[in-house]
Structure 1
Amino acid sequence: MGLTKYKIGEFVEPVSIKCGIANFENVMGINIDKQFIPSRNVGKDTSNYSVVPPNCFAFNLMHVGRDKKIPVALNNTNEELVVSPAYFVFRISKENVILKEYFYMIMSSPGFDRYAWFCTDSSIRGNLDWNRFCDIEINLPPIEIQQKYVNVFNAMQENQKVYEKGLEDLKLTCDTYIEQLAKTHPHKAIGNYISLCNKTNNELKYGLKNVKGISINKEFIETKADMKGVSLNSYLLVEPDAFSYVTVTSRNGEKISIAHNGSPDTYIVSSSYVVFEVINKDELLPSYLKLFFNRSEFDRYARYNSWGSARETFAWDDFKEVKIPIPDIKIQQSIVNIYNAYIKRKEINEKIKLLMKNIYPILIKGSLEEAEKI
């Protein structure tokens, strides 16, 4: 049996179904991971948008050269999806030649992306013409071998989904625990438990590699500021277990930029930031306090209590008035343990998804090699 060479056009066909609804809300786009995601760019009239039936593909042939990837996704749900008319919709017409899941694996491999990019035209965006796409030749193993390797991937994907569901259950447990504390324990102002840190980098012990900014995701990040010619003498030290926040909250995505230094390293931040630490860690765990800073309720509180004209700021005196439930230290630690387990499993889940993303070419290569031995 071995391998059989086919042109893509021999086993695919276009699907042309218009939405017909002028104000359809759930329009989808396709991300770089080749998955359908809610679209942010929706026109006023969606009646001309394209329908992607179950088991059909959608892709944008206009951006292949620009992105060096084919933005393609397979609708593996039981519902019809709607995409921009800029997308091209097609389906597998000969399922005895190729499985839709196997073709998706092929189109998700970096090698196919590179070849598709090679086939684009000379326009600014690097379009890939539909007819040129259909002329691309690929070697296919027998259906039985295709199914074998599709089954391998499906099993991995199912395990990842189960793991991810357990991850969300763990987060729900943590959130529920905190909600219960908020209802059953008295709230206390955090100003009684924290103090300002005014240590500066006046000895220039720390350099540019230690300079950090703070994202709206509440993490320390590499600074985006132009540091050319900037003196670091006045920069504030953020030692391990300390916090820092940006007082300006306007034009910040309705969030406050605040972060906890959970690393063993000392960072330095602009003197315009506020740096503080927990005074007595036997009464309040910094990692427990961090959980409340990460909640959307805290973002809303910070924005509501920000003042100013051109720029609204959440001043230190107002910051100290934030009240949270502060239970026994053992209870705090148990919540932190749940949260840390959630973070650790979340990191593992991201690694699993990255592994699955990189497994496509391995599975394709394995199926081709097996077919060649027949």
Structure 2
Amino acid sequence: MALTKYKIGTLIELILDINNELKYGIDDARGMTITKEIIPTKANLDGTDLSKFIIVEPKGFIYNPRTHGKKIGFGYNNSNTTFIISWNNIAFKVKEKMKATILPDYLFLHFKRDEWDREACYQSWGTSTEVFTWDALCDMEILLPPLSIQQKYVDVYNAMIANQQSYERGLEDLKLTCDAYVESLRRELPHQKLENYISLCEERNDNLEYGIDDVRGISIEKKFIDTKANMTDVSLKPYAVVFPDEFAYVTVTSRNGEKISIAHNNSGNTYICSSSYVVFRVNDKETLLPGYVAMLIGRDEFNRYARFNSWGSARETFDWDGMCSVKIPIPDIEIQQDIVNIYNAYNERKTINEKLKSQIMDICPILIKGSIEEARSTKEA
């Protein structure tokens, strides 16, 4: 029979091994994302008893039973490394006797589809928190082609992953080059206050030259984004105008993930943003490149500096005086351009890498569908 339907519970079993001998430590703790990736845990584990954490060996699966809107936090250990996860998550693996029926990698493709997330969230229950239980997972059904066909489509997926990861390694090499360049400048050159090179921009949208489509917010990823605010009946006259090559930032830094929301308008378009934002420009582009400033304020070091130098009680803010007091190394314009070129190449490749990841996510349902159709056509033949 080319295709066989199974309850998932007949294929998998819980992982119950815990870290009671404390063989694994904080550096071995992992979490998972709604994009189905394993990541270092974001929880503060200082002083946490790790003896109850679950041990997840290669080919093990993990998921967070508490749903996140329309997605399930989920991960698959496709590495050669064992890690641990918090006891309030669920870990499982393919039963030894069922490995001749289903490949763990193929099962992961099944879980990585949006269709599975929708079904899992539909099967979740709760009031303030909806939970996708182990029993609900086991009660789901899966249609399986023969192992040889599973392997064929897993090989396609793994080849795509290998290409993306190779591209990502090159991306990190670029970032290291850029960071090393900046660090050498920080050590070798005197630092100058930004107040000598920047000025406030106070133009407003008084004539309503710019409309709703031009409104932008700013993310902690240092990007202008489409506004999330409800703009119904909002007057756009007081909105601040941000011309190309100008900067804007949100002064409030508290409750912001330890980051400051600031962005460089490196597009050819003019934006408008809330009048509460601070907008500024570089005075002399033959002395200081806006792209060089954008690169410096995009670093983690600037986030830490801005947070440390924010002041307030209920809300901490990094005001204009704080921005003017920032000191940076200013090399010759040619050197600035070299660094900007590396930084721009990094950002372009980073964008491409994110698109590759998105394409890999999108290919999972296609691969599952292709494997099932191939199995059906084999049966008919």
Same fold (TM over 0.5): yes
Secondary structure at the counterpart of residue 259 of structure 1: strand
Q: Distance in 2 between matches of 1:360 and 1:157?
A: 12
1:77 to 74, 79, 90: 79
Q: Highest CA radius of gyration, 1 or 2?
A: 1
SS at match of 1:138: strand
Please give the per-residue CA displacement for 1:128-168, whole angstroms capped at 9, x wherever unaligned. 55455434443322212211111111111111111001001
Separation (CA, whole Å) in 2 of partners of 1:273 and 1:147: 54
- Within 2, Cα distance between the matches of 1:29 and 1:208? 39
1:329-352: per-residue Cα shift (whole Å, max 9, x none)? Answer: 222112111111111111110010
* From 243, 263, 281, the counterpart of 1:239: 243
Superposed counterparts of 1:1-374, under 5 Å:
2-20=2-20, 25=26, 26-37=28-39, 38-40=41-43, 44-60=48-64, 62-63=65-66, 67-93=69-95, 94-117=98-121, 120=123, 123-124=126-127, 127=131, 130-131=134-135, 133-224=137-228, 230-307=234-311, 312-374=316-378
Q: Is the 8 A contact 1:116 1:128 kept in 2?
A: yes
Cα distance in 2 for residues equivalent to 1:306 and 1:286: 23
**Contact 1:241–1:277, Cα closer than 8 Å, also in 2:** yes
Unaligned runs of 5+ residues in structure 2 are none
Native 8 Å contact 1:59 1:87 kept in 2? yes
| CA distance in 1: counterparts of 2:263 and 2:311, whole angstroms | 21
Q: Is this contact kept in 1: 2:164–2:357, CA < 8 A?
A: yes
Distance 1:284 1:56, change over 3 A: same
Give the Å deviation of 1:21: 6.0
Aligned residue type for 2:264: H
Comparing 298-307 and 75-84, the one that deviates more: 298-307
Inter-partner Cα distance in structure 1 for 2:140 and 2:307: 55
Offset from partner CA, 1:252-276 (integer Å, 9 cap, x none): 4443332211122222233343322
C-alpha separation between the residues in 1 aligned to 2:70 and 2:203?
48
Shift of 1:353: 0.4
Q: Tell me, in whole angstroms, the C-alpha distance in 2 between the residues paired with 1:250 and 1:167.
A: 31
| 1:27–1:39 Cα contact (<8 Å) kept | no
CA distance in 2, matches of 1:291, 1:142: 51
For the Cα contact (< 8 Å) 1:19–1:51, is it kept in 2? yes
Contact 1:58 1:74 in 2 (8 A): yes
Residue 71 of structure 1, CA deviation: 4.0
Shift of 1:245: 2.7
Distance 1:71 1:305 in 2: 35
1:47 to 1:371, Cα distance in 2 relative to 1, 3 A: same
Question: What is the CA-CA distance between 1:373 and the residue it aligns to?
Answer: 2.9
Is 2:125–2:132's contact at 8 Å kept on the other side of the alignment? Answer: no
Deviations 1:265-306 (A, max 9, x none): 222233343322122212221111111122233334444444
Q: Which amino acid letter does the alignment assign opposite residue 20 of structure 1?
A: N
Distance in 1, matches of 2:174 and 2:367, equals 32
What is the root-mean-square deviation of aligned Cα atoms in Å? 3.0
Provide the C-alpha distance between the structure 2 equivalents of 1:372 and 1:70, rounded to a whole number of angstroms: 30
CA 1:154 to 1:226, structure 2 compared with 1: closer, same or farther past 3 Å?
Answer: closer
**Alpha-carbon shift at residue 24 of structure 1 (Å):** 5.4
The one-character-per-residue Cα deviations of 1:62-97 (angstroms, maximum 9, x if unpaired) are 446x74555432222333322233333322222111
% identical aligned pairs: 52
Q: Classify 1:337/1:370 alpha carbon distance in 2 versus 1 (closer, same or farther; 3 Å).
A: same
Deviation at 1:318, TM superposition (A): 4.6
Q: Classify 1:181/1:106 alpha carbon distance in 2 versus 1 (closer, same or farther; 3 Å).
A: same
Q: Secondary structure at the match of 1:373?
A: helix
1-structure distance, mates of 2:160, 2:134: 32
Q: Which moved more, 1:262-271 or 1:234-243?
A: 262-271
Asked if the contact 1:14/1:90 (under 8 Å) is kept, the reply is yes
Distance 1:121 1:303, change over 3 A: closer
Q: Which amino acid aligns with 2:239?
A: Y
Q: Give 1:127 deviation, angstroms.
A: 5.0
SS of alignment partner, residue 35 of structure 2: coil
Q: CA deviation at 1:224?
A: 5.0
The gaps in structure 1 that reach 5 residues or longer are: none
Range with greater deviation from structure 2 (7-16 or 120-129): 120-129
Deviates further, 250-259 or 151-160: 250-259
Secondary structure in 1 matching 2:363: helix
String of CA shifts for 1:11-65, please: whole Å, max 9, x gaps.
32333212226895354332211222315286954433322222222234x446x
Taking the aligned partners of 1:322 and 1:121, their CA distance within structure 2 comes to 50
